[in-house]
Structure 1
């Protein structure tokens, strides 16, 4: 099959591309290589994908000829977007509007013109829930984002549902719960933690560390994408993709200290606007419809990320 991946140079996009190429699919990937985090990391991700079956386009979704690029494509995996809760406030919000909402609308319009498209898989986020009404949170529970980032992810998700209902686009939205693993973005918590553990540096925690998160290993996220693409589900479906860890940040640090066999230097500072206290998603729906269930326990996944970090961060600079 011919697969189209947006944000292919990113953490999830490149991991997904590697899986699809290994299974013999043809992959067309697009990425604008934005400088939200180190471009060198994205280029290294792309180098790992070098294959006769891989085609890379360096371009912004908002200006690319998407009608042409989607010709003959069987499945679209829309992983691209501007990440980050903390940076989405203030003047940077316009970047989130363009990258998360406008780009999604343009991609959906191009999908309308592709009569043979089998699935459009959108990478949504647990940020759409904000401080949820209950835990584990169900897909039908009322979303109430706590950050501009979450607002844009929810808006793009609604666009997917609208295009499914009005034009029959076979969309599936996957609400990711805190993805981690080797090659995770350098601004994300687990990468900051394991890098500091390897180098003996201080770890900065926003808030008390008692905030609870549902962490999901990247290979499980990739598996959910593959199943969303290949297993039948109603058009416009929305699924939680959660690892089921439900653990506090402080307990994660304790676990990392055990794995690294080193004392960790932790500093606590004020929390950040938009950060929720708890996340935790029910996966009953995705288990029933797609047959997906997380398979990598947190301790195993964190150990894998730490072992990766021992190599990636051994030198003074990445």
Structure 2
């Protein structure tokens, strides 16, 4: 890769991907609808990248702005831009989910086809599976139970449809990420909330009784799989990217207590609509196609995120916890 576009570049996963690509000598165009200098979290996430001459930030909205110029000349597009969050996707906010996750993806794909982009790597989600009782395989039925999951599945199908067009040279790898965590994680995500509660003593809201299981995937493993997907010799495929083990929420809280040496105060409330009982990834295809297997276990990943959180200054901490 010589020149690539990363959408959602100022986000949690996007900014880590940008840093990793720059470290490999790749020229990166970083597209985000958050304008640098006006959004504290975007500024923090891209603080290292903006000083690299191989990085060009680009303030655009996929749903409304002209995209051909930013796509032109890119070998690969890493499409990570999305409106995240299961619970917020119910109700009137779904308009933004539809515009950002579905319409924005459609407009980006059109631009990629017009400009002859060869590969698009799409950040999908384990939310497309819905409730399961065993590790999810890529050929399992999809039955999302939240509007967010529906929007990600629709965007995934759009990407694959464009790759299968007989007149398109675009190929697509859709990566179904399983609960990504690590430094720069969004403040509403569970591991960040657990660690913040451990260090501050403010109760962490636990939705449900804590028996629900999640497969947590450390950010560096996600970046490794995402870059590997750019080189995969396929026309259109879907691949799980998980952390290798599914852990109960109570188990995560206990592990965070061990890492921090502190108790995690919790406030139990009812389970929320759209939350599945468990997520778990079958990584057979990821191993076969990407040579992928997670290298950072939950204890080590929690320790790394905790160390990062402790090292933040007061002002920077407010950016990631507000």
Give the root-mean-square deviation of aligned CA atoms: 1.5
Q: TM-score, normalised by structure 2?
A: 0.94
Tell me the CA shift for residue 63 of structure 1. 2.3
The number of aligned residues is 312
**Conserved in 1, the CA contact under 8 Å of 2:129 and 2:143?**
yes
Q: Which moved more, 1:100-109 or 1:259-268?
A: 259-268
Structure 2 counterpart of 1:31: 32
Q: Name the structure 2 match of 1:192.
A: 193
Q: Secondary structure, in 3 states, of the residue corresponding to 2:164?
A: helix
Q: Does the 8 Å contact 2:240/2:281 carry over to 1?
A: yes
Q: Is contact 1:198–1:309 with CA below 8 Å preserved after alignment?
A: no
After superposition, what is the alpha-carbon deviation per residue over 1:26-64, rounded to whole angstroms, capped at 9, x for unaligned? Answer: 000110129xxx931112112221210000011211222
Name the structure 2 match of 1:7: 8
1:253 matches 2:253: yes
Say whether the 8 Å CA contact 1:199–1:313 is kept in structure 2: no
For residues 243 and 29 of structure 1, what CA distance do their matches in structure 2 show? Answer: 26
Task: After superposition, give the CA deviation of every residue in 1:286-315 in whole Å (9 maximum; x if it has no partner).
Answer: 110121111111110011011111123756
For residues 317 and 57 of structure 1, the distance between their equivalents in structure 2, rounded to whole angstroms, comes to 25
Equivalent residues of 2:194, 2:264 under 8 A apart: no
Residue 177 of structure 1 corresponds to 178
- Matched with 1:304 is 304
Task: Report the CA distance between 1:69 and its aligned residue.
Answer: 1.0
Q: Report whether the alignment pairs 1:87 with 2:88.
A: yes
Q: Paired residue for 2:235? A: 235
Residue 59 (structure 1) aligned with residue 29 (structure 2): no
Gaps of 5+ in 2: none
Gaps of 5+ in 1: none
Is contact 1:198–1:314 with CA below 8 Å preserved after alignment?
no
User: How far is 1:123 from its partner?
Assistant: 0.2
3-state SS of paired residue (2:56): strand
1:65-214 matches, within 5 Å, as 65-115=66-116, 117-132=117-132, 134-166=133-165, 167-214=168-215
Moved more, 82-91 or 304-313: 304-313
TM-score (ref. length: structure 1): 0.95
